[in-house]
Structure 1
Amino acid sequence: MIAELQCTVLDCPDPAALARFYAAVLGGDVDRPDRRWATGDGWATVHTPCGQVLAFQRVDDYRPPRRPDPARPQQFHLDFAVPDLEEAGVQVLALGATLLDAEGAERGWSVYADPAGHPFCLVRH
Structure 2
Amino acid sequence: MSLVNAGVVVLDCAEPEKLAMFYKELLQARETDVTANLVQIRAADRLRLAFRRDANATPPSWPRPENSLQAHLDFLVEDLDAAERRVVELGGRPVEAKDAPGPYEERGCSDPAGHTFTLRRIPQAGPKQG
Normalised by the size of structure 2, how large is the TM-score? 0.48
Greater percentage in strand:
1
Normalised by the size of structure 1, how large is the TM-score? 0.49
Larger radius of gyration: 2
